[in-house]
Structures are given as C-alpha cells and as structure tokens.
Chains A and B, each alone.
Chain A
C-alpha cells in the first residue's frame, strides 16, 4: 500500500506577469443595444418613418394622413384642451370600472380559496363569462342602466372581473405547499394568511391578470364610446374619434387613435413595468 501525493501548482505566481482578462467593459453601443427601451424606441421610429413615407406616397389626407400631419393635429388638439379633456373623461370612467372589477374579483377569489363550493362557483362562472365579449353586453346594459356612465361601468366590470379573478385564482393555486406550511407554522390563517402569504407569493399571476384586465377594459371602453357616444355633453376619446370621422377630419381621427395607443403604452411600459421591476423582478420570481 502506498501513500497518495499532493503536487502543488503555483499557477498564480507563474502567470503574475500576464494578468488574464477576467472582464471586459462593453462599448457604449453594446450597452445601448442591451437596453430594451432603446431597442423598442428604434422600432417605433422605424414604424413612424414607414408611415410618413407611405402617407406622402399616397398623398390622400382623407384616407391616410401623413405622420407629421397627425402629430401636428394632435399638438393642436392637445393645446386647445380637447384631447386631454376627452382622455380624462375616458380615464375617469375606466378607473371606476377597473376598481370595481378588481374589488369584485378579490371577493370572488377569497370565497373560492376558502370553500370548495366557492372554487366550483368561480370556475363555472369564469368559464361561462370570460369568453363573452364585454361589448356584447352593451345593448343590454343600455336597457338596464340607460345612456350614461352606469352602462359603461357595467361592461368595464365585466371585462376586468373575469381575467383578474381567473389569474389570481390560478396564482393562489400554484403557491407551493412549503410556503403554505411556513405561513401556517406562524399561526397565520384567514385574511392575514391571504394578505401575508398568498397574495405576495402569487403576485406574478395577479399582475398578469391586472395587465390583461387593463387592456380589455381600455379597448372595451373606447369601443363602447364609439357605439353610444356622448352622454351628459362630454364624451371620451371614442366619441372624439367618431365625431371627427363624421366631420371627415381624418388627421384628428388618427390623432385620437394615436392618443389611445400612447395612453396604452404609458400604462403598460411606465406603470406596470415599474411595478414589475420593484416586485417580481426584484424578488427573482419572474425574469
């Protein structure tokens, strides 16, 4: 039987004169290209340029105004206060519907996780109503609640409630058993258990639900405003688009559409991105 030998290799001393390249700084261009915001801005600039070129080529402002015409009209309408006022009218109704939808979704999901019949109820009604387009309920809503914000809020609740409830519930269901046991170990139960363990653990899914709900609500609202237009003398963005089409002011129609897109982008990229960065990305539960 022999002994094993340990052969020391002093690699560090040998190569001390030639430091190995451990890290290399990225160039400014590489750094910029790594920023998703920069890449997306480039795409938007490219689309705007394509629009401008096609508009100039077609040369028919009644069918397809150029990008700069649209932007100029938009500036005019923003400066004279029309677009901000209309956008605010739309957003006010949207917030009412969105908040009410989330509150109802919270009640539904809490019922669903506390009892088995509640789960069955939620699963059945989401399966029934989730595929039903909110706008299809508008004729009925007009009969029930009349011309006005009541009908709008009703269809908005319908468009928000189901996706939020569905995602929150599936998020709760996928919370790991270990985390549930940890929460119960500390004597948490009932609402504190939901608030302290389930909601933060399922926050990724809840946020997805809120994003889908927002997108559904926003498009439902604009569409609904197009259908029944103005109530109490002050319409929203949808009515603004409809009105200007009737006046054949097509650049203003495009300006209205662009405003709808811009507000959508702001909510998605500023509000929801910020929430994501400060929650699920910071926690490493979503990349």
Chain B
C-alpha cells in the first residue's frame, strides 16, 4: 500500500533579509493512514518549516512531497493545520461558526449539515457548553480544543499540528494530550505532530522522526512507540535513549 504522505529528499530554504537559510536538508519520511507521526527535534531543526511545507505554505528547493499521490503545491483543506498560537480562531465568529467556517468556505457541506457536523465535533472535544461563545471568552486550552474540533470536522486526509499544546500550562497540556489520544481511538485520523518535548512525542506518537539541527537532517526514526508504557518504566528508558541521541553531539562539542 502506498503511503498517505510521502516526503522524499526534501530540502527547504527560506530567504531572510540578509541570507538564504537552509532549514532542512534531504529529509525523507512517509506517513501511513492512521499514523500518529511525530517530528521531534531541538529548535532550529526545521520541524515547523517542514510542517509548513507539507501544509503547502512553501515550496521545497529540492525533493518532492506527495499526498495521496498528488504533489503538494499550495495550501488546501485536505491538510488542516492546527497552530500553536491561540489567535488561530477567528475572533469575529462564535465557537460553532469557527468550526463551521472551513466546511462552508470549501463548499464541503450545505449550511444545515455543516452545523450538525460542527456540533458533533464540538461535543467530541466536550465544549458543547460554550458553543455560542466568542473565542476571547475561552481559556487557552479551550481555544486549542476548538481548533482541533475545527480541523477534525473537515475530516481531512491528514491533520498537521504545530506544537498545539506548547503554550498551555502543564496540567491543561496533559488533559489535552489525553483527549487527543481518545479522539484518535474513536476516529483513527492521521496526524503529523511537531513538538520539541520528548515526553510529549512518546505520549502522542506511534512513530517519531528525530531531526538534528542546523540544518535539519533525519537522525533516526523510532517505530512502535505505542508499545512502551509509563507503568513499567519503558517510556522513561525510551525518553533517556532519545535524549542521549539528540544531545550526543552537543555534549561532545563542549
């Protein structure tokens, strides 16, 4: 079976005012349906840039990216982005209207069906209580859950999550992670998840791609991550192993 998302030998460069920066160099990976694929690495490894490229916001200078066999050339609703920033919700729309917005804009569903689907996904993230509230009245965690509901309601080929829980407090972050896993168990969506937290990567992912910084290169891929568990200490051992792998260069360099 062909992979859902296929990234092969992708080099990403972007221009700043004074230089051309290479964010990633010859990165390859492939994501299968229902994968929870995590891009993990320290800052500067180009993981967010890579996600934006998959989102269609920038073109690779070398290499190819295909989703469902089609080459990625521009942003599209088959790849729904969920950002770290709380201002990703449209402040002039209520929670319900925010979730309905992409369904209506892409003419996926007529208004009545869009509303029914939006309400069912808002219920999934247990926000029915605030369905008619405006985003500015919600807490950070609630905003991120609305964004997740909005992404999932489109039932895209893949959800692209760019450190969605990084700006949350520790307790809310854990609740949100648990909720995401529960949602995955219900609908088995495919997600490409970017994080710089090893613990989060192990908790969320079933596959982890480790990237090294300056420029971002693939260091290793960890598979069967969902087999480890926090109870018998295997998760902690994996965390240590990944930590050593990521920071090995840094230690020898000093």
Contacts and interface: CB of A to CB of B under 8 A. Distances in A.
B87 A185 contact: no
A196 interface: yes
A187 B135 contact: no
A192 B101 CA distance: 13
A67 to B, nearest CB: 44
Interface in A140-163: none
Contacts of A196: 105
A178 B82 CA distance: 10
Classify the interface of chain A: helix, strand, loop or mixed. helix
B118 interface: no
B55 interface: yes
A181 B81 contact: yes
A253 B135 CA distance: 51
Given A203-B92, A284-B137, A187 B87 contact: no
B55 A185 contact: yes
A78 interface: no
Contacts of B106: 186-187
A201 B57 CA distance: 20
Contacts of B101: 186
B88 A182 contact: yes
A187 B91 contact: no
Q: How large is the interface on A (under 10, 10 to 19, 20 to 34, 35 or more residues)?
A: 20 to 34
Interface in B31-78: 52, 55, 57, 75-77
B91 A185 contact: no
Contact of A284 (B85, B105, B135): B135
Interface in A185-205: 185-188, 192, 196-197, 200-201, 203
A197 B92 CA distance: 10
A92 interface: no
Interface in B128-159: 134-137
A185 B75 contact: yes
Among A176, A186, A203, which residue has the most Cβ atoms of chain B within 10 A? A186
B105 A178 contact: no
A185 to B, nearest CB: 5
A186 B91 contact: no
B80 interface: yes
12 contacts: A176-B85, A178-B85, A179-B87, A179-B88, A181-B83, A184-B75, A185-B81, A187-B75, A187-B106, A196-B105, A283-B92, A284-B134
B21 interface: no
Contact of B76 (A176, A187, A283): A187
Contacts of B137: 284
B136 A284 contact: yes
B91 to A, nearest CB: 4
A182 B80 CA distance: 9
B102 interface: yes
B85 A282 contact: no
Given A178-B87, A279-B92, A284-B91, A186 B136 contact: no
Contacts of A185: 55, 75-77, 79-81, 102
Given A186-B105, A186-B106, A178 B136 contact: no
Contacts of A282: 134
A181 B92 contact: no
B105 A188 contact: yes
Nearest to B52: A181
B181 interface: no
A285 interface: yes
A178 B88 contact: yes
Contacts of A178: 83, 85, 87-88
Q: Which of A196, A203, A279, A283: most chain B Cβ within 10 A?
A: A283
A181 B75 contact: yes
A179 B79 CA distance: 16
Contact of A182 (B81, B92, B136): B81
Contact of B57 (A179, A184, A187, A203): A184
